[in-house]
Structure 1
């Protein structure tokens, strides 16, 4: 199984919108709307991106960044570190159409800024994504695939026509998936995406996602990974950020949540599907995970905020 593809399908990318920002220094814009995940493409000039108290990172012409976890961040001109940022929502509200002109009249920059939304905004997989993925415009390997995506997306965003909403959503989903794949090798943060950088761990993740109801043990997963039990457990934890069996437990409970929400599958069948030998054992595990019994969860709104 392709774990990245499976995760993107589970998250269900549903929308994207873009604006062209024509900026002049000094300027600073904050992106902090809940649930909105950012895409920023530096078309001309340079800027900085900063997350919280982390050191800022300089972006140059051709660079692309995504913020897949929707962490608040600021884009600004390099001379605007002491400036109070203006909310991106306010900047957009004071403009019309897809073109925004903003700033103090100094050094120019043009940035295409997008926001995208996942339908499964509380999906645990989001915590396994990095705060930011940066693809440098000077990266020769990336430039071979990045240029085509960006040019097509920018053309559609800045000259929309019938069906543009669907086109932008599909293009954005493809671009984001490709950027995440590129980011696997350069990630420093732990999570399932980082786990894909290790062939053995990636194989274990694939079987857990493809067949979570199998009677997996540390030993059997280590065999899939082609590693010793101890080496596998240590490597998986170091890359993914949690022990293999805890990851398997969460995968099973997420699948059970999905089956409970659809309302058509009986508890005994759900228990069997996610690897439990009885309804009682499954119910105990599910309540430990969600704080609700399976029946309570099914009768409720189906909200899963674990």
Structure 2
């Protein structure tokens, strides 16, 4: 997998949940969670209950909320949001449906919630802005994905449940790629956005993600970049915020933690796939990174 895909997969857990909403003014929905909202038809307002100014969302807009914060979607910023009980959702489909409001102008939405592991997020994900607002007309691939979603939801046929679920699952990657390509990231996220495109750093990142168990050194990674050892190390550190081998260790431990959570692979196999020749050396490195021995981490994560 490419670096962006692996970064997202390293923090995403489970499957996203989604709701198709048919709303007629006046209406307001009080929500909480990490996820996205797509305006399929009409318009609405996003009101951050943390105090940020309301944001108007037009047809085709996508907004991604990277933190589990309280917010309201409504026909008007002054319309209060209601909490919706579980029994209000209709249908056995993976994409649930909801009707709210009265008989005013219509808005159709697709809202999805992702489950992200915030315990030790990858720095690219950890430095996302609270709200990412994208206009799909400026991003052809994202526009196409939203159009496919809208078509499948409006005219479901055989296979629609699987198609819609896959598109919702992929939408996070479309959103992050569009945001990175817009060139708007700031701070640490800007460094990572540049690192993924940098002709010297990107090949080294790809190599570490492709084969984290390889005996990488700063010299061997620099050889991939076309730079000598010292300039490469400075450039890598400036863009990602940490030296190459520090990042490599972090990525190895991230992969090991996923194996411990999601598989029953023996510790010797996990250690080998993380690039360690002995369980003892691996356990020592893992505990230094996570504060727990691998076995205890597995029991806590799966218990």
Which residue is 1:22 aligned to?
23
TM-score if structure 2 supplies the norm length? 0.75
Count of equivalent residues: 290
The structural deviation recorded for 1:209 is 1.2
The structural deviation recorded for 1:122 is 5.7
Does the CA contact (< 8 Å) of 2:271 and 2:277 recur in 1?
A: yes
Does the CA contact (< 8 Å) of 1:219 and 1:229 recur in 2?
A: yes
Alignment equivalent of 1:41, drawn from 39, 42, 47 = 39
Secondary structure at the residue paired with 2:36?
A: strand
The structural deviation recorded for 1:291 is 2.2
Q: Distance in 2 between matches of 1:198 and 1:93?
A: 50
Which residue is 2:55 aligned to?
57
Which residue is 2:245 aligned to?
245
Which runs of 5 or more residues in structure 2 are unaligned? Answer: 92-96
Q: Distance in 1 between matches of 2:45 and 2:270?
A: 51
Secondary structure at the residue paired with 1:110?
A: strand
Aligned alpha-carbon RMSD (Å): 3.6
Secondary structure at the residue paired with 2:214?
A: coil
Which residue is 2:111 aligned to?
114
Which residue is 2:99 aligned to?
100
Which residue is 1:258 aligned to?
258
Call closer, same or farther: CA 1:231–1:20 in 2, change over 3 Å: farther
Asked if residue 166 in structure 1 is aligned to residue 136 in structure 2, the reply is: no
The residue correspondences of 1:180-195 to structure 2 (distance < 5 A) are: 180-186=176-182, 187-189=184-186, 190-191=188-189, 194=193, 195=195
The structural deviation recorded for 1:182 is 1.6
The structural deviation recorded for 1:207 is 1.4
Q: Distance in 1 between matches of 2:287 and 2:222?
A: 29
Q: Distance in 1 between matches of 2:99 and 2:16?
A: 21
Q: Distance in 2 between matches of 1:251 and 1:72?
A: 32
Does the CA contact (< 8 Å) of 1:200 and 1:226 recur in 2?
A: yes
Secondary structure at the residue paired with 1:178?
A: helix
Call closer, same or farther: CA 1:215–1:13 in 2, change over 3 Å: same
Does the CA contact (< 8 Å) of 1:20 and 1:99 recur in 2?
A: yes
TM-score if structure 1 supplies the norm length? 0.75
Does the CA contact (< 8 Å) of 1:37 and 1:66 recur in 2?
A: yes
Does the CA contact (< 8 Å) of 2:45 and 2:74 recur in 1?
A: yes
Which residue is 1:154 aligned to?
150
Call closer, same or farther: CA 1:24–1:241 in 2, change over 3 Å: farther
Alignment equivalent of 1:179, drawn from 175, 193, 196 = 175
Does the CA contact (< 8 Å) of 1:14 and 1:119 recur in 2?
A: no
